[in-house]
Amino acid sequence: MAQEHRLILKQIDQPGYTAELECYLRHGGYAVLRKALSLPPRTLTDGRVLTGPDQLRKEVMESGLRGRGGAGFSCGLKWSFIDHRSGKPVYLICNADESEPGTFKDRQIIYKDPHQLLEGMIISCYANHVHLAYIYIRGEFTEGARILERALAEARAAGYLGRDILGSGFDLEIHVHRGAGAYICGEETGLIESLEGKRPYPRIKPPYFPAVLGLYLCPTIVNNVETLCAVKHVVGMGGLEFAKLGTPNNTGTRIVSLSGHVRRPGYYEVEVGKVTLGELILDPAFGGGLREGRKLKAIIPGGSSAKVFKAGERFRLQRRGPGGQVTSEEVDLLDLPYDFDSLQQAGSMSGSGAIIVMDDSTDMVEALANIAEFYAHESCGQCTPCREGSLWMSKALHRLTHGGGRPQDADYLLHIARNIQGRTICAFGEACAWPVLSIVTKFRDEFEARGAADLARRAHPATGVEAPPATTQPAARAD
Ligand SMILES: Cc1cc2nc3c(=O)[nH]c(=O)nc-3n(C[C@H](O)[C@H](O)[C@H](O)COP(=O)(O)O)c2cc1C
Ligand code: SF4
């Protein structure tokens, strides 16, 4: 039977568990840091000597840990891009912006178990020779910032931060930096610009990774809150042991934010790929099913920028067996394992781990209008396709939901979205195009019916519905 596997969330929500250092220590806190800082050098069979930090990075590589912020990129590989011989300082930034709609996991850790995040960060900093790190926290999380500041002060006073941590000779300082509430500050290069005191304009790629050129043009690691917490567990149990959790190439556990039309919305930690989308939505241990008398209509599986799935869809998945042999099987939507690779093969992504469930009461035109309005508001405006396109899409959808639609609006929306994706500086372009491309394509009939009905009403105002006033029409049109 599918069930939670709580590793990061193990203590969170337990009766009496608090965010204070004393409580964290009572539950074994900072023991993994002690172990990490005291690792003696190890000589390999080929004569090479691995220092403590080398061994920690090796563990993370062997664990197969993939980033939990959205892209699912290998954490060990990202760390390996750091050039430790450049002579430049290396920085680490914890991305606590958590602004992808539908996502509410990182804030649980920050509010309820901040020392777990700090321990993961300190270990990650030691492993990468970082002496100055930042937690970039979303502006709206005022209480979260306060909790983190207090946890940092506690850690400093107890010798887990500052000079000569636990007598190891390792120095580290961590600062909390509050954003001002812009979604684009979650994009790592926009975040870095913001941290440098500038507008959060995402940087032109290449270089593709801040690990090559990041904060103050120095090598910089940007990792998500959950990823950094997972590092603590990788080091605690060993990389290969961590890799036994989950499934091949999709190791460990991951926290899923489940919302929408389920009976038990909430956050659940599961082994990656060991639980299906259907179990997460229907099983009493998770979502507990839909509301009485309702049927499933659609699922957004990885935050609002992930492509939507339509109820009843089937997918062909390829799997690699232990001997390397590749097999292929057809899978129902609800039988899709919730992991990085399966969702990608099914044409979407697990992104930030946020599942939004929609039942048959959902108006897909309204739902998309809501999403598109968010992206039009949040575009940083640097690239023309994203700046103009996101606004045109939002205006067209506003028209469609306010009586001014046209039957050709479905094609109009697809046309704009296709001209955004792949033509922008950052992945926000895809983030705003993918919901439109997938929802309009899979629920095209709803968009066409809405447009046709609006047109008919305008042609025959005697039906009782007036033509919309000119002000509801978009100010700028692409066609
Ligand atoms: C538009 C946009 C918004 C993003 N927002 C977040 C966010 O709120 N939190 C986050 O951790 N990553 C976010 N990311 C991903 C980051 O750019 C980056 O890949 C991530 O922080 C790396 O951490 P990880 O490797 O641990 O996943 C966003 C990416 C894009 C394109
Ligand atoms: S894609 Fe959009 S958010 Fe990203 S840099 Fe361009 S305009 Fe800004």
| Biggest distance spanned by C-alpha atoms of the chain | 89
Atom of ligand 1 nearest to the CA of 97: 8
Residue 393 lies in a domain: yes
Nearest to 194 by CA among 74, 109, 96: 96
The answer to whether residues 335 and 412 belong to one domain is no
Nearest to 334 by CA among 280, 400, 284: 280
Give the residue, by CA position, lying nearest to ligand 2 atom 8: 380
The answer to whether residues 76 and 199 belong to one domain is yes
Q: How many CB atoms lie within 10 A of CB 16?
A: 7
Mean of the per-residue pLDDT values of the chain: 95
Nearest to 197 by CA among 148, 136, 133, 142: 136
Looking at 359, 394, 429, the residue that finishes a domain is 359
User: What CATH number is attached to the domain comprising 46?
Assistant: 3.40.50.11540
Q: What total of structural domains would you count in the chain?
A: 3
Q: Say yes or no to pLDDT of 464 above 60.
A: no
Mean predicted confidence (pLDDT) in 246-250: 95
Residue 1 lies in a domain: no
The answer to whether residues 240 and 292 belong to one domain is no
Mean predicted confidence (pLDDT) in 16-45: 97
pLDDT at residue 150, as a whole number: 98
pLDDT at residue 473, as a whole number: 46
Question: Contact at 8 Å (CB) between 350 and 249?
Answer: no
Q: Is the CB of 102 under 6 A from ligand 1?
A: no
The answer to whether residues 165 and 31 belong to one domain is yes
The residues, ordered by sequence, that sit 6+ positions from 186 with a Cβ below 8 Å of its Cβ are 69, 95, 97, 98, 99, 100, 138
Residue 14 lies in a domain: no
Quote the tokens at residue 44.
């390999």
Looking at 359, 376, 405, the residue that finishes a domain is 359
Mean predicted confidence (pLDDT) in 245-270: 97
The answer to whether residues 162 and 228 belong to one domain is yes
Q: Is the CB of 437 under 6 A from ligand 1?
A: no
Residue 155 lies in a domain: yes
User: What CATH number is attached to the domain comprising 385?
Assistant: 1.20.1440.230
Q: What are the Cα distances from residue 345, in Å, to 24, 247, 331?
A: 40, 16, 11
The answer to whether residues 327 and 398 belong to one domain is no
Atom of ligand 2 nearest to the CA of 190: 5
pLDDT at residue 468, as a whole number: 52
Choose between 319 and 313: higher pLDDT. Answer: 313
Mean predicted confidence (pLDDT) in 48-68: 97
Mean predicted confidence (pLDDT) in 228-244: 98
Residue 9 lies in a domain: no
The amino acid sitting at 98 is: E
Q: What ligand has the least distance to the C-alpha of 254?
A: 1
The answer to whether residues 460 and 405 belong to one domain is yes
Q: Say yes or no to pLDDT of 83 above 80.
A: yes
d(CA 38, CA 124): 14
The answer to whether residues 66 and 166 belong to one domain is yes
Which percentage of the chain shows pLDDT scores above 90?
91
pLDDT at residue 463, as a whole number: 57
| Predicted confidence band of residue 323 (pLDDT cuts 50, 70, 90) | confident
Choose between 323 and 161: higher pLDDT. Answer: 161
Question: Contact at 8 Å (CB) between 222 and 130?
Answer: no
pLDDT at residue 478, as a whole number: 41
391, 426, 430, 432: which to mutate for ligand 2, most atoms within 8 A of CB? 426
pLDDT at residue 320, as a whole number: 79
CA atoms 433, 434, 435, 436: torsion sign: positive
The angle at the Cα of 425, spanning 346 to 87, to the nearest 5 degrees, equals 105
pLDDT digits (tens, 9 = 90+) for 106-120: 999 999 999 999 999
User: What CATH number is attached to the domain comprising 332?
Assistant: 3.10.20.600
pLDDT digits (tens, 9 = 90+) for 359-407: 999 999 999 999 999 999 999 999 999 999 999 999 999 999 999 999 9
| Predicted confidence band of residue 461 (pLDDT cuts 50, 70, 90) | confident
Kindly give the distance from the C-alpha atom of residue 425 to the centroid of ligand 2, in angstroms, as a whole number.
Answer: 6
The answer to whether residues 289 and 185 belong to one domain is no
Q: Say yes or no to pLDDT of 469 above 50.
A: no
Q: Say yes or no to pLDDT of 205 above 60.
A: yes
DSSP 43-83: E-TTS-EE-HHHHHHHHHHHHT-B-SSSS--BHHHHHHT--
Which percentage of the chain shows pLDDT scores above 70?
96
pLDDT digits (tens, 9 = 90+) for 425-447: 999 999 999 999 999 999 999 99
The answer to whether residues 200 and 172 belong to one domain is yes
The answer to whether residues 70 and 48 belong to one domain is yes
Q: Is the CB of 428 under 6 A from ligand 2?
A: yes
Q: What ligand has the least distance to the C-alpha of 204?
A: 2
Looking at 359, 380, 399, the residue that finishes a domain is 359
Residue 26 lies in a domain: yes
Residue 2 lies in a domain: no
Mean predicted confidence (pLDDT) in 347-369: 98
Kindly give the distance from the C-alpha atom of residue 216 to the centroid of ligand 2, in angstroms, as a whole number.
Answer: 21
pLDDT at residue 471, as a whole number: 45
Domain range for 439: 364-472
Residue 342 lies in a domain: yes
The answer to whether residues 223 and 131 belong to one domain is yes
Kindly give the distance from the C-alpha atom of residue 110 to the centroid of ligand 2, in angstroms, as a whole number.
Answer: 28
